[in-house]
């Protein structure tokens, strides 16, 4: 082979390599970039002992009227307000999160915004003080935040919520059905039909109505995420109605994933164990249970919403494109999955 042939071959090889790089970049949605690695001189971040990272029981006795405010809890829950750092994993995405004022919904809203998404949150009017804090955090991340209060037990409101979210964000590609109602009752005889109906409407009917309304707007690559619970697998005696709804959530995740998989829409769930949220202080746990809350986990404490934020990000992100019909657990070593 002549020198000219060598040069021609080298150019062809270089162009072929460039073409492959561009093809990979096109599939991944990012431009080719030089790989970077941490310098050996960079100090390693310290290990964090999960058993002592957050407060342990005993907790103070405390109660609030339903639905409760995170801002009035002692200790105040950590939703990642000061700790979550984004890296652009959800840049340009458009998310609707129910129950986005506190708990896992708030943690997801903060994380999504810091990962580059615009976010609509829904909450009950009584939760307005917490919701305003979330709006401030989303806007501080440089993203669009929209707050839409309303009662998810109303089918027409659920339909209007989705329509307003689509209009405000210019579309929708992430739906997080997180809002939940949990009330502790020692006996089934203590649960009125009205109580039972309120739990079913909030935890089962609302996701049904919201998904139906959202589906015509969801394109391939979109994600639906439901919040189930360890209660779906190992129900407590005093959460008869709530546990049923979480088993139903786990089931709709798996069923809907099969239905929507061919359309390129992924459906997954998150199953928390004991997590420190307003659910517990507004009737979801007895005072005796509250004081010892989370103490029976192998880590000896309840989880904080911030510790689940990355799971909601992962299930929404494009690099989890083969995960559908999955339920990701986070229970401090106790419970399933």
The string of pLDDT tens digits covering residues 303-323 is 999 999 999 999 999 999 999
Q: Of residues 84, 240, 242, 312, which has the active-site annotation?
A: 242
- Residue range 72-86: mean pLDDT, rounded: 97
Question: Count of alpha carbons within 13 Å of 156, Cβ hemisphere only?
Answer: 0
| pLDDT at position 39 | 59
Show the beta-strand stretches assigned E in 139-216.
145-149, 174-177
**Would residue 84 count as lying in a domain?**
no
CATH at residue 232: 3.40.50.720
Question: Which one is predicted more confidently, 8 or 161?
Answer: 161
Find the domain containing 184 and state its range: 91-330
**Would residue 86 count as lying in a domain?**
no
Does the pLDDT of residue 40 top 70, yes or no? no
**Would residue 73 count as lying in a domain?**
no
- Residue range 255-273: mean pLDDT, rounded: 98
Does the pLDDT of residue 17 top 70, yes or no? no
Does the pLDDT of residue 6 top 80, yes or no? no
Does the pLDDT of residue 34 top 80, yes or no? no
**Would residue 35 count as lying in a domain?**
no
**Would residue 77 count as lying in a domain?**
no
Give alpha helix (H) positions in the chain.
3-28, 103-114, 128-140, 155-169, 193-200, 206-214, 240-260, 278-279, 287-291, 309-316
| pLDDT at position 32 | 34
Question: Global pTM?
Answer: 0.88
Does the pLDDT of residue 293 top 70, yes or no? yes
Check if 242 is active-site. yes
**Would residue 27 count as lying in a domain?**
no
How many domains would you assign to the chain?
1
Strand order in the sheet with 118-123: 145-149, 118-123, 94-98, 174-177, 223-227, 266-272, 327-330
Helix (H, G, I), strand (E, B) or coil at 120: strand
**Would residue 80 count as lying in a domain?**
no
Helix (H, G, I), strand (E, B) or coil at 18: helix
The string of pLDDT tens digits covering residues 176-234 is 999 999 999 999 999 999 999 999 999 999 999 999 999 999 999 999 999 999 999 99
């Amino acid at each position: 082979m002549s020198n000219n042939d060598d040069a021609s071959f080298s150019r062809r090889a270089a162009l072929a390599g460039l073409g492959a790089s561009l093809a990979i970049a096109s599939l991944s949605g990012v431009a080719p970039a030089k790989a970077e690695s941490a310098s050996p001189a960079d100090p390693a971040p310290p290990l964090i002992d999960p058993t002592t990272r957050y407060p342990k029981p005993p907790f103070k006795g405390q109660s609030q009227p339903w639905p409760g405010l995170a801002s009035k809890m002692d200790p105040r829950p950590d939703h990642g307000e000061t700790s979550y750092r984004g890296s652009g994993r959800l840049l340009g995405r458009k998310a609707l999160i129910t129950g986005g004022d506190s708990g896992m919904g708030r943690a997801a809203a903060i994380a999504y915004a810091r990962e580059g998404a615009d976010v609509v949150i829904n909450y009950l009017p009584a939760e307005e003080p917490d919701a305003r804090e979330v709006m401030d955090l989303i806007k501080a991340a440089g993203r669009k935040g929209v707050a839409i209060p309303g009662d998810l037990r109303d089918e027409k409101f659920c339909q209007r919520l989705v329509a307003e979210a689509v209009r405000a964000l210019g579309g929708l590609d992430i739906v997080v059905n997180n809002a939940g109602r949990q009330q502790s009752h020692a006996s089934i005889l203590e649960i009125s039909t009205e109580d039972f109906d309120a739990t079913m409407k909030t935890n089962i009917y609302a996701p049904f109505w919201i998904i139906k309304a959202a589906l015509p707007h969801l394109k391939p690559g979109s994600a639906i995420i439901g919040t189930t619970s360890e209660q779906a697998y190992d129900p407590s005696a005093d959460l008869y109605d709530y546990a049923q709804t979480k088993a139903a959530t786990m089931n709709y995740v798996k069923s809907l994933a099969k239905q929507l998989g061919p359309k390129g829409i992924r459906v997954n769930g998150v199953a928390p164990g004991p997590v420190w949220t307003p659910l517990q202080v507004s009737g979801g746990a007895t005072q005796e249970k509250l004081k010892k809350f989370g103490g029976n986990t192998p880590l000896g404490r309840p989880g904080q919403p911030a510790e689940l934020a990355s799971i909601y990000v992962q299930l929404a992100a494009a690099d989890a494109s083969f995960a559908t019909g999955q339920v990701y657990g986070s229970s401090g070593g106790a419970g399933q999955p």
